[in-house]
Amino acid sequence: MKHPRRTARRRKLGAELRALREAAGVSPEAAAKAIHGDRTKISRQETGQHRVTRLELEVLFTLYGVGDEKLREWLVALASEGNKRTWWRRHSGMLADGFKEALDLESEAARISAFQSQVVPGLLQTQTYAAALISGASTSLTEQQLDFFVDLRMSRQSIFLRGNPPQYTAIVTEGVLHQQFGGPEVLAEQLRHLADLSQSPDITIQVIPFTQTSFTDSGGSFALYSYPDPLDLDVVQVEHLDGALCLEDDETVAKYRRVLDKLRSSALPPGRSIELIASIARGLEHE
């Protein structure tokens, strides 16, 4: 039997429910009995492997003595993601779990802050730049598979067209602007695209120049996703060779937020960043 994916919301909800149960001195068996389940169900709910229904939450609130309305509202918001359907789910079978979680996070975030040290962030890529990256990352893809993943990356960018687009901040190193994936023409087109995107009030692009002598080591590329009340959730996604890792622990998230602030202060202001991007694009066009 295949169990539901452990999303960031489910993990956060489960951890909070476990803390509330333990604080109330309620055993897993007693909690399970209250919701007409068994200890395994409670265990899976508290580790984010099993969905918690609204009715089960209300029963647990009473059992654990949760009277704080703000806390109850937050936990209900965390649990509600199980009912949501998103545009990419029809392709779910072709996607790795880590990538599905990235799409989940992206789809509903109110603010996204990304740091990239190697490539232009996916949400800002042109189709030709994306195709060059994806084909270079895996030589085993068929032409049909390549088209699928490129189209998927382009579809992700529709979040900027919705009625309440996220506030998106991208911080990249200057090296990203010189790496000619697909060749100089592809890169020049990509850089012009970044300059165009920067005109949007929802998108901020900053570049850490080669001349910056004070640079914060982030340990690699990452993104911070933030969600408004009542969800009040921040999640960091860290990229690694085999996929990505999502982190929700408050202390860890706070550490990445501090790193992000340092990276932002190391970068050129948005206006000067776009001037640098445009200058590099002009240089490529005259080669």
Domain boundaries of the chain, sorted by first residue: 8-83, 95-285
β-partners of residue 171 are 115, 206
Q: Is residue 123 within 8 Å of residue 155, measured between CB atoms?
A: no
Q: What is the mean pLDDT of residues 157-167?
A: 90
Q: How far apart are CA 147 and CA 57, in angstroms?
A: 43
- pLDDT higher at 183 or 213: 183
Q: Is residue 105 within 8 Å of residue 225, measured between CB atoms?
A: yes
Query: What architecture (CATH level 2) is domain 95-285?
Result: 2-Layer Sandwich (3.30)
Q: What is the mean pLDDT of residues 121-139?
A: 91
pLDDT for residue 95: 73
Q: How far apart are CA 29 and CA 38, in angstroms?
A: 7
* CATH of region 8-83, choose from 1.10.630.10, 3.40.50.360, 3.30.1440.10, 1.10.260.40: 1.10.260.40
Residues 6+ apart with CB under 8 A from 218: 115, 117, 259, 263
3-state SS class at 114? strand
pTM tops 0.95, yes or no: no
Alpha carbon separation from 70 to 55, 76, 83 (Å, rounded): 18, 10, 21
pLDDT for residue 189: 97
- The answer, yes or no, to whether residue 88 has pLDDT greater than 70, is no
Q: Is residue 13 within 8 Å of residue 54, measured between CB atoms?
A: no
* pLDDT tens for each residue of 45-79: 888 888 888 889 899 999 999 988 888 888 888 88
Q: What is the mean pLDDT of residues 2-9?
A: 59
* pLDDT tens for each residue of 244-273: 788 888 888 899 999 999 999 999 999 999
